[in-house]
Structure 1
Amino acid sequence: MRGVPQTGNGSQCLSAGTQRNLSDNTIASYRDTWRLLIKHVCTTTTTRADQIRLENIDRDMVTAFLDHLSNERANTAATRNARLTAIRVLYAHILPDHPEHAETIRRILTIPPAKIAKPMISYLNEDETDALLAAPDTSTWTGRRDQMMLALTVNTGLRISELIGLATTSIHTGNSPYIECEGKGRKHRATPISAKTRDQMRAYLNERTARPGSALFPGPRGNALSRDAIERRLATHVRTATKPCPSLSSKYVTMHTLRHTTAMNLLHAGVDITVIALWLGHEQTSTTDIYLHADMKTKNAALEKTRPPEVAPGTYTADPGILTWFEAL
């Protein structure tokens, strides 16, 4: 992009991402956004990619690009907002060095994100969790690996990217067992594991040492399983678990569902929401508030506290005779 030194088709954006210590996935998202935006500019104008100047991408152009994503590429509001964030990152990064474009940049930075209706989160209850953990065939190495991977995820609530990054040295199985991982934004954190998971992990690690590579959950060649491979393994085990636990058939289960399950288990155990936020690696407790909204047990308990003393506890059930009275009106 001309008019911005050392840009190189979005390298300024990648540089900004690196300076902000963002994850590789986030930086890749920024790169893809600018690739799509530059292609859009070339398609809708007569400007070649190597001739694009900063002033060619103004608020109107960015807005048209976002509309293109929503209307022609059928992107969701969340994807649209992620693309807008990537655009804002670059412009906020170059603003101090280009005051002559301050007004153009200011107008782009004030583009509002699309409103997103937050769906209720999905998580597994105790019976569904037990059925899923019992689904892998533990008579095989692959089954034992998958069972350990699922059990660890339910125990710790790790993101799938954090799970992929685990090495055999990430697990500490002493008297106070815990796991170390690198979370979003390359933030390092340690999460405790239960004694049951620790004992299972010790047996797993003894078997794991006979296999190549250092990834905690390796594929056939010793490399860490990919995101797609993990989700495929999970889908296979969900199908198996659905037979003894039919309620799973009504749920779309991903690895992030297991993360939600961890949070809900902690919430039901009475753990404070701020501790849950630390456990999951959330930077702000507002991110963790979704579990409060999803937890009907907590809401019902709060409602029960407002019950007048003379009212019997429990859910109100109308007198059957009242229905006859209504029908007679």
Structure 2
Amino acid sequence: MKWNSYIKDYQSYLRIERGMSKNTIENYSFDIERLCLFLEINKMEVSPLKITDETIQQFIYHVSKELNPRSQARIISGLKSFFNYLVFEDYRTDNPLELIETPKTGRKLPDTLAVQEIDALIAAIDLSSNEGERNRAMLETLYGCGLRVSELVSLKISDLFFDEGFIKITGKGNKERFVPIGKLTQKYIQIYQNEIRGNLTIKKGCEDTLFLNRRGNQLTRAMIFTIIKDLAVKIGLKKNISPHTLRHSFATHLLENGADLRSIQLMLGHESITTTEIYVHLDRSFLKEVMHSFHPRK
């Protein structure tokens, strides 16, 4: 069916032409592989150049029984991108997803934690272990700088500019930004560097990576998820949280305390201000207070 060769070409296109990150490319590829698996299970031997909108519709109906509308929308978007690429390269004359509608998902408000809940999470870390000092430094960095988990695990020692009060972050699409870092977060990173990291046998290629596992390798994103989930269980937190929850909380707490959306956008590395505007919906009382304080008709 030759799907693999077209997928590999598409991955090269996303990496070289579009400048997408490894994680994004993997997500796009997963959507196509899911379609390939559906074709294989149903013994439909059809190439990406011959597949019809009817077959795609059958696949979408199949995944709709397993996934929520948001996940369905992501798969449709990923497949549209792949077939648009095939049209762009003149492999096909049409996109079989052209007329397939994306399910309405609404706009999901991100989960956030109160400052007291974040304090409780960090206080629950066992500092008697080497991993404890590292985990405290990581959580303080996630929340203190509003990082994505992928940005945290790839953070370099050479990206730390403590004298200037900033760290350099390489975000989505390899776009770089400078994010302010507070004295408290700096302190915990330095404790980890001086007391724990310096005693590790560091694997080749990880010499500049800040946060490492006990074997001196770069941490995985899954490991960060596990650490945070385990801490939530430890303190009896009922919310379903992830590393991204700390990023959302960072933005929400800044907004609640009077920061403007444009500044938050720059710190989060959002390409569009509309992405950042979701945080406006989180605290109605804050908005009411702003109106009463600044509107001439208060």
- With structure 2 as the length reference, what TM-score do the two structures score? 0.88
Asked whether the equivalents of residues 134 and 241 of structure 1 are also in contact (C-alpha less than 8 Å), the reply is no
Q: Percent identity?
A: 28
Shift of 1:288: 1.0
Output the CA distance in 2 between the equivalents of 1:86 and 1:123.
28
Please tell me whether residue 268 in structure 1 is matched to residue 263 in structure 2: no
Which of 98, 105, 112 is the equivalent residue of 1:116?
105
Shift of 1:252: 1.6
Asked whether the equivalents of residues 172 and 179 of structure 1 are also in contact (C-alpha less than 8 Å), the reply is yes
Shift of 1:250: 3.2
Give 3-state SS (helix, strand or coil) of 1:250's partner: coil
RMSD: 2.4
Structure with bigger gyration radius: 1
Which of 31, 36, 39 is the equivalent residue of 1:38?
36
Q: Name which of structure 1's ranges 37-46 and 273-282 shifts more when overlaid on structure 2.
A: 37-46
Match of 2:7 in 1: 10
Asked whether the equivalents of residues 13 and 30 of structure 1 are also in contact (C-alpha less than 8 Å), the reply is no
Change (3 A) 1:53 1:96: closer
Shift of 1:219: 1.0
Unaligned 5+ segments in structure 1 are 243-248, 310-329
Please tell me whether residue 60 in structure 1 is matched to residue 54 in structure 2: yes
- Letter of the 1:25 partner, please give it: N
After superposition, what is the alpha-carbon deviation per residue over 1:104-147, rounded to whole angstroms, capped at 9, x for unaligned? 32x52342211113333221112112222222122322111111
Shift of 1:255: 0.8
Give 3-state SS (helix, strand or coil) of 1:114's partner: coil
Please tell me whether residue 151 in structure 1 is matched to residue 143 in structure 2: no
Match of 2:268 in 1: 280
Shift of 1:77: 1.9
Shift of 1:294: 0.9
Give 3-state SS (helix, strand or coil) of 2:288's partner: helix
- Letter of the 1:41 partner, please give it: L
Unaligned 5+ segments in structure 2 are none
- Size of the aligned set, in residue pairs, is 290
- With structure 1 as the length reference, what TM-score do the two structures score? 0.80
Change (3 A) 1:302 1:166: closer
Shift of 1:240: 3.4
Change (3 A) 1:292 1:46: closer
Asked whether the equivalents of residues 168 and 205 of structure 1 are also in contact (C-alpha less than 8 Å), the reply is no
Which of 169, 177, 197 is the equivalent residue of 2:185?
197
Which of 168, 185, 200 is the equivalent residue of 2:157?
168
Shift of 1:45: 5.2
Give 3-state SS (helix, strand or coil) of 1:108's partner: coil
Match of 1:21 in 2: 19
